[in-house]
Structure 1
Amino acid sequence: MEKQEIHSNRWDHFPMRSLKKENLGNQVFEQVKEMIVRGEIPAGKRMIESEIAESMGISRTPVREAVHKLEAEGFLKPLPKGGYVVRGLEISDIEETFEIRSILESFASYLAATRHNDEEILPLEEKIEEFQKYLDRHDLKELTRINTEFHELLYALSRSPRLVKMILNLRDEIYFLRKIILNSIDMAQLSNKNHIEIIKAIKKREAKKVERLVREHVLRGKKFVINEIRKGNVSIDHCYF
């Protein structure tokens, strides 16, 4: 379902961080991208270069550079009569991204099971313990961070920088979706249980089993998110690619 364009273009209520003088275009890109990914700028919000530039206290040139880069990476879409709006996230986007992740992340985990050194497992086990500590206190706001750190440590063991980069690019795009999963106590508990099973299989270097466990782990998250959206428990009005 296409998101309706939001015609209120005031940027006063979108707080912008101060910028350094160097590489302004890239700084604007990173800041606006982060705000879109985190749901701080809504889908359908029109991107007015002059207003963004005024809110940041800079010229329009770096803003224009950032806007073109945001369009190239799929965060913005052009309007028929000119200008851009923030692109909304569709259910088909969610399904496709989870499926791509399941392939990339399961392969990275397969490689990790065959290439890791034994002493590299300890940081992963520490992340599992940290996750459980916050979960026991029902302090869910830290779980997404810890979960992300666990997976980054795991995929780094693949010894495949290009593969890891591809995975992390996708993970940036579904920040909000990870929060949906981990805001459920039951799903958070299941997630950590899955992590324990994955680490046990990695220790035994059971690469095929690790690959299967990770694929099931990712696709289970997809099923949960889609069900929550279709039941109306979660809105995707603040989800973006």
Structure 2
Amino acid sequence: MNAPTKSSSLPPTAQDRAYTSIKEAVINLDYRAGESLRAQEIAARLGLSRTPVREALGRLQQEGLVRHDSGWGYVVRAMTQKEINDLFNLREVLEVSAAVEAMTFLDEAGIEKLAGFLKSARRELQRGQLAKTRALNSDFRLALASASRNTLLSQILLTINDRVRWLGSMQIQSRPGRVQESLEENEEILEALKSRDAALVKNAVLNHVRRARESVMTNVAPFL
């Protein structure tokens, strides 16, 4: 009989809890661009000491979601228009590559898994739950990247996903109809994947990313 093994999944540390809480609050616009993040207030709200909160803010600074201000501590950082364009340029290259690579590996079960995200998103949209619809669109995108079996590519897309989600939250407020458009574009990507036609997949992904760029640059970027 084998000896019992210790679980490799460790409970989140206080710093992890603070990091996740602050990051999600920034992405969901509970904290706005330019708003100060006071470690003492956040620590009190989370029931933590200030040390893990400061450490979490330092991590978020490294990731570019907040910046350090000598007078105010940490402040939510806005993206510049160049950074937004750079982000979408990167998405075009990486998401096309991920989708085309995934197409070669996806079997019927893999297609059904991807379809499940979009079916759930469609239900949430019909209920008027735009934030949940947006989140499921994001889950579809990351699951498609994972299906490429390209670990490095998936990791890079996961890294930039926080910025994509942040822009998506602002789009819900500035142009809520974009959520439905994004879902429809993802449904077109899924149909292209079913066809096993690399050119169709590439065009569907490019159409999605380019329409997202146009909407962000028109409805979000001018107000940052």
User: Could you say which TM-score interval applies, normalised by the shorter chain?
Assistant: 0.7 to 0.9
TM-fit CA distance, 1:121:
0.8
**Does 2:194 correspond to 1:207?**
no
Q: In the aligned structure 2, how far is the partner of 1:180 from the partner of 1:53?
A: 26
Q: In the aligned structure 2, how far is the partner of 1:206 from the partner of 1:228?
A: 33
Name 2:165's counterpart in structure 1.
175
Name 1:119's counterpart in structure 2.
109
CA deviations over 1:153-197 (Å, ceiling 9, x no partner): 222210122211211221222223224556757544443433333
Structure 1 unaligned residues grouped into runs of 5+? 1-20, 237-241
Alignment partner of 1:27 out of 13, 17, 25: 17
Q: In the aligned structure 2, how far is the partner of 1:62 from the partner of 1:135?
A: 37
Alignment partner of 1:73 out of 63, 82, 92: 63
Q: Counterpart of 2:207 in structure 1: which amino acid?
A: E
**Does 2:211 correspond to 1:220?**
yes
**Does 2:121 correspond to 1:131?**
yes
Q: Counterpart of 1:114 in structure 2: which amino acid?
A: T
Report the TM-score, using the length of structure 1 for normalisation: 0.74
Q: Counterpart of 1:95 in structure 2: which amino acid?
A: N
Paired residue secondary structure (2:31): coil
Structure 1 residue runs of 4+, over 6 Å off?
none
Q: Counterpart of 2:211 in structure 1: which amino acid?
A: R
TM-fit CA distance, 1:88:
1.9
Structure 2 unaligned residues grouped into runs of 5+? 1-10
Identity %: 28
- The answer as to whether partners of 1:111 and 1:207 remain within 8 angstroms in 2 is no
Q: Counterpart of 1:94 in structure 2: which amino acid?
A: I
Higher helix proportion = 2
Report the TM-score, using the length of structure 2 for normalisation: 0.79
Between 1 and 2, higher relative CO (CA 8 Å, sep ≥ 6) is seen in 1
The number of residues matched between the two structures is: 213
